[in-house]
């Protein structure tokens, strides 16, 4: 496995990364030019786009079918939709959105941790359904729907007794498999699992924020292997994007680092996996 850093200027924290139409989109927490667009070969900055009236970004995902990027905002409680021309619209979630993903039906799956629900929206923001998660899933952070219809969900956080990655039935009622438990740093434990990526074989990449590592789980969540260590990341991993287009297999990891003066900087580390 090889890795490199995406050549972005050091600056505001990066809270999301994805790709669309052969370009890499990176989301920063700032007032203007929050979305930076890079070419996918040399990682050179092509342009910057502004999301108007944004307050607090939580995540970013994309859909090649609708040529759209979706950005969560937990203060406005909305999703901003950005097309490849840079036009921005938005729709309300009516709850605080956390992480997001796009399923096989090209709908947007929004994780709402406060109410422990997943909300599925059409590309235009029509609410299609709400999935209530089992009571054991406390503080869900990110969810991805597999091709079989089940959900992979990571949950836990500061002060929570259980930090896990779970496979949940398609109706949201039952935990089918799980990995993790009491928070910790040993193999098989997590300390802040915050973001996921799932490949075509339904193996699961997990960003383990406070352990500063990325792990790879087997499709049944039984076996775990280290993908990226703290030495390679040099910061806290906050989100993941798996690029398997055009015979590539790259995992993009957004990393946050706290500075001595209390500020926060962000970057992206890229691994061939």
Q: Which CATH architecture has domain 135-228?
A: Beta Barrel (2.40)
**What's the pLDDT band for 2 if we cut at 50, 70, 90?**
low
In the predicted structure, residue 265 carries a pLDDT above the cut 90: no
In the predicted structure, residue 65 carries a pLDDT above the cut 60: yes
Ramachandran bin of 219, using left for φ above 0, alpha for ψ from -120 to 50, beta for the remaining angles: alpha
**Domain-wise residue ranges, the chain:** 135-228
In the DSSP assignment, the letter for residue 116 is: T
Q: Is the Cα dihedral 7, 13, 19, 25 positive or negative?
A: negative
Compute the average pLDDT of residues 84-112: 96
**Which pLDDT score, from 0 to 100, does residue 253 have?**
95
Helical spans, DSSP H, in the chain? 230-233
- How far apart are the C-alpha atoms of 33 and 258, rounded to whole Å? 22
**What's the pLDDT band for 266 if we cut at 50, 70, 90?**
confident
- How far apart are the C-alpha atoms of 202 and 273, rounded to whole Å? 14
The answer to whether 59 and 112 have CB atoms below 8 angstroms apart is no
**Which pLDDT score, from 0 to 100, does residue 146 have?**
96
For the entire predicted model, the pTM comes to: 0.94
**What's the pLDDT band for 260 if we cut at 50, 70, 90?**
low
Please give the mean pLDDT across all residues of the chain. 92
- How far apart are the C-alpha atoms of 207 and 246, rounded to whole Å? 24
End-to-end CA distance of the chain: 6
C-beta neighbour count of 136 within 10 angstroms: 11
Compute the average pLDDT of residues 189-212: 96
**What's the pLDDT band for 246 if we cut at 50, 70, 90?**
low
């Amino acid at each position: 496995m090889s890795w490199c850093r995406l050549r972005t200027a050091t600056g505001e924290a990066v809270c999301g990364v994805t790709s669309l139409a052969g370009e890499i989109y990176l989301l920063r927490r700032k007032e203007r030019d929050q979305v930076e667009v890079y070419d996918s070969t040399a990682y050179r900055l092509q342009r910057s786009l502004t999301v108007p009236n944004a307050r607090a970004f939580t995540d970013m995902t994309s859909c090649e079918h609708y040529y759209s990027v979706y950005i969560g905002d937990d203060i406005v409680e909305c999703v901003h939709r950005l097309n490849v021309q840079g036009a921005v619209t938005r729709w309300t979630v009516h709850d605080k959105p956390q992480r997001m993903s796009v399923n096989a039906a090209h709908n947007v799956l929004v994780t709402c941790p406060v109410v422990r629900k997943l909300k599925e929206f059409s590309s235009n923001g029509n609410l299609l359904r709400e999935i209530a998660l089992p009571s054991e899933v406390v503080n869900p952070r990110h969810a991805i729907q597999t091709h079989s219809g089940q959900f992979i969900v990571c949950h836990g956080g500061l002060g929570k007794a259980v930090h896990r990655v779970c496979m949940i039935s398609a109706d949201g009622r039952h935990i089918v498999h799980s990995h993790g438990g009491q928070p910790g740093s040993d193999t098989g434990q997590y300390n802040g699992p915050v973001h996921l990526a799932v490949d075509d074989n339904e193996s699961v990449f997990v960003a383990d924020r406070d352990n500063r590592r990325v792990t790879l789980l087997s499709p049944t969540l039984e076996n775990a292997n280290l993908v990226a260590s703290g030495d390679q990341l040099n910061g806290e991993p906050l989100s993941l994007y798996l690029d398997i287009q055009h015979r590539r297999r790259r995992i993009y990891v957004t990393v946050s680092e706290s500075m001595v003066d209390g500020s926060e900087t962000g970057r992206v580390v890229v691994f061939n996996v």
